[in-house]
Chain A
Amino acid sequence: MAFEGLSTRLQNVFGKLKGRGKVTEDDVNEAMREVRLAMLEADVNFKVVKDFIAKVKEKATGLEVVKSFTPAMVIIDIVNKELTELMGGTQEKLAKASKPPTVILMAGLQGAGKTTLTGKLAKLLQSQNHKPLLVAGDIYRPAAIKQLQVLGGQIDVPVFTLGDQVSPVEIAKQGVQLAKEQGNDYVLIDTAGRLQIDAELMQEIKDIHSAVNPDEVLLVVDAMTGQEAVNVAQSFHEQLALTGVVLTKLDGDTRGGAALSVKAVTGCPIKFASTGEKIDQLEAFHPDRMASRILGMGDMLSLIEKAQTNMDAEKAAEMERKMRTADFTFDDFLEQMEQVRKMGPLDQLLDMMPGMNKLKGNPNFKIDEKQIARTEAIAKSMTKVEKKKPDIINYSRRKRIAAGSGTTLADVNRLLKQFEDMKKMMKQFSGMMGPKGPKGGMKAMKNMFGGGKNMKFPF
């Protein structure tokens, strides 16, 4: 399928070579074709892809790949590093004027999400103890001003408007003036969406720019944008001198190659990523994670971070020991479910894992939060002894558990069976986890999720 991850594809290329033991330059070329396809499928602009491939190829044709036992891994590593670097390496913060207020101007196409982003950014600044002022500069789209007012109302941030009959240039000017008088330290100017080729509207935003002299000009880009992203970014950059980019709708299933295109043609850092419909769902942009996403390799880092913030380190260590020794009881099972749940909705977690997208497309694989609750109920209906020694659960105990949890005998049987399977799997898993360290572990995970067709979750 189209959205197969790059790692799988490269493994296929190099898999064919098994037994030959040597990788030729032709093989590297074939691998580069796969990289190219993966990037094009992710909507990275073809010109950007071309330059990128040339660069990677130069590095990849080095001895390292040819000699390596795992050429696919070496190439992925090179690609990933190059991509991360191209994406901007490190995170960038919002500009700050030496003399307040800091003026931020939003720009972008229609429907990119400027107004929503303006609200989100205000919320973020507010949580950092700033006093933002929103300026409603979109006088064209029906109810755009109202939208900003509602957002402002939700987070208790003032919105400046002169209605839709006054020129946006004048609105922006007066807005900044008001911020100075009222002591707002940030002014966020929302503007109407415009096509980069619309001379009249582009002139208008240039006029706003020269009237208020913003410290930050943010191009708001829909992460789903296709090849056109390059033209949009280039044109806006030439006319407005952008200082940063914000990606919106990144919570969709797009691979988001537009991010790379925009970064490559403007050189401007991507400062934020918008990841949900709620007003606080705005995150700092992580170039390394975006690189993996474009390549279809999942977002393991985000997942690990989520786990780290939400899991109790001590408990995790204990859990790991138990897994290793397969000394795993229903108590631990409940505990673990609790921990996983803290990290957020399961389908979101799965989105972040490599190979999971494919699994999600499978109609037989559906995550049912209700089913999880039912599973929990069964486990909780066991006595202390039963939880520790599931082996003792005989027919009459099963009947009692089913009655106690409001489920059927079949449900209880299924869970017990799956629990046993899981224990077995953990034994295998921990074997792989052992001396080879996390790398081996990742591979095992892949086998678990990607390869094993019969693998089922215990819930």
Chain B
Amino acid sequence: MSFFKRLKESIASKTEAVTSKFREGLAKTREAFVGKVAELFSRRKKIDEEFFEELEEILIGADVGVNTVMGLIDELRDEVKKRKIELPSELQPIMSEKLVAMLQGSSQEIGINENPNGITVILFVGVNGVGKTTTIGKLAWKYKQQGKKVLLAAGDTFRAGAIEQLEVWGGRVGVDVIKQESGSDPAAVMFDAVQAAKRQNVDVLICDTAGRLQNKSNLMEELAKIHRVIQREIPGAPHETLLVLDATTGQNALQQAKMFGEKSGVTGLVLTKLDGTAKGGIVIAIRNELSLPVKFVGLGEKMDDLQHFDADQFVHALFADLAGKDESEDTEAE
């Protein structure tokens, strides 16, 4: 059975709605990235330097990342030599498989680490303008739908209007927001929020923080302090520290993941604004170069457009068209 058939079966068990969300959300990436790759493989009749160069450009153009691309191209060159491949069509399944392997990684997808006996604390961090507050709104909605009791902490006390923005989301979703005045110490807000969460017996406490660039050491220290305060009040918390990355970001995304990972103990990533733009490629780079799992992806502007990242779904949404081809070739061979 071909790889893609197995994949198809694996996602067949999941709901239709989720599958179509991924397919729709990644439509642009599919067109720009997978479509171009397929076109290249069918157009070129020979594997030569130009072929590799063009392939390299398509991959880099999708923000897959220079390191990852160069590594992949080198591997493909080796395969070509080893297996004496001459036709691009023979190379195509090899490449698809390599990309898929990168995306799926070695580790199984892990859901959100929830506290079985008590409050689950989720801390959001990231640079400015990546969509932390919006993601929190969407996540709160998700938990609310599951019948959980949710509380939000307005830890962005710096940016003008940030507290109000979270309050609007709180109103929409119907959950309380713990806040202090703009300009106050975010660690103090967290302390208040944790106390309130304990008092109100909530299931999930979601903490917002101000956006900060990863090279500002004092702001990164502030984050460490927030982390410490939460940890002190609820041992084992925060159960998840999620770094929000904007999918339109280039190579700096890797730098962000590295620095935030070191300073604030990031446990997972959220990739926002993945819809509409052709930039799903960064997922490949992240999975190839970092050991952090992608936990959620933002696939649209609506309240329910935040999805658990599912490597199988992601791969299927991207490569299903290529897979169709593979399968027909498989049948021929049989």
Contacts and interface: CB of A to CB of B under 8 A. Distances in A.
A112 B277 CA distance: 15
Interface in A198-241: 198, 222, 224-229, 231-232
Nearest to B216: A251
A143 B278 contact: no
Nearest to A145: B161
Contact of B129 (A2, A146, A150, A222): A222
Given A249-B127, A253-B215, A2 B28 contact: no
A115 B167 CA distance: 19
Nearest to B53: A50
A227 B168 contact: no
Contacts of B253: 224, 226
Contacts of B140: none
Interface string B233-267: 00000000000001011111101000000000000
Contacts of B10: none
A367 B57 CA distance: 40
A40 interface: yes
A124 to B, nearest CB: 17
Interface residues of B, number: 45
Contacts of A43: 250-252
Given A226-B251, A227-B63, A251 B130 contact: no
A225 B246 CA distance: 9
Contacts of B2: none
A141 to B, nearest CB: 7
A209 B168 CA distance: 29
Which interface residue of B128, B172, B215, B248 has the most chain A CB atoms within 10 A?
A: B248
A111 B128 contact: yes
A140 B169 CA distance: 12
A195 B276 contact: yes
A154 interface: yes
A254 interface: yes
Contacts of B273: 109-111, 195
Nearest to A222: B129
A142 B165 contact: yes
A244 interface: no
B155 interface: no
Nearest to A198: B276
Contacts of A113: 128-129
A347 B216 CA distance: 9
A227 B160 contact: no
Contacts of A12: none
Contacts of A109: 248, 273
A116 B130 CA distance: 14
Contacts of B206: none
A257 B246 CA distance: 17
B270 to A, nearest CB: 13
B249 A226 contact: yes
A253 B164 contact: no
A252 B219 CA distance: 12
A436 to B, nearest CB: 34
Which interface residue of B60, B62, B182, B214 has the most chain A CB atoms within 10 A?
A: B60
A351 interface: yes
A448 interface: no
A111 B164 contact: no
Nearest to B212: A277
A231 B251 CA distance: 17
Given A252-B213, A252-B215, A41 B66 contact: yes
A46 interface: yes
A225 B250 contact: yes
A257 B250 contact: yes
Which interface residue of B137, B159, B161 has the most chain A CB atoms within 10 A?
A: B161
Given A116-B160, A254-B250, 20 more contacts: A112-B129, A113-B129, A116-B159, A145-B161, A147-B161, A147-B165, A150-B160, A198-B276, A224-B250, A226-B250, A226-B282, A227-B61, A227-B63, A228-B63, A228-B248, A228-B277, A251-B213, A252-B215, A277-B128, A347-B217
Interface of B: 28, 57, 60-63, 66-67, 127-131, 137, 158-162, 164-165, 167-169, 172, 182, 213-217, 246, 248-253, 255, 273, 276-279, 282
27 contacts: A41-B66, A43-B252, A46-B57, A46-B60, A111-B130, A119-B160, A142-B172, A143-B161, A147-B164, A154-B160, A195-B273, A195-B277, A197-B277, A222-B129, A222-B246, A224-B127, A224-B246, A224-B250, A224-B253, A226-B250, A227-B61, A227-B250, A231-B277, A249-B129, A249-B213, A253-B213, A253-B252
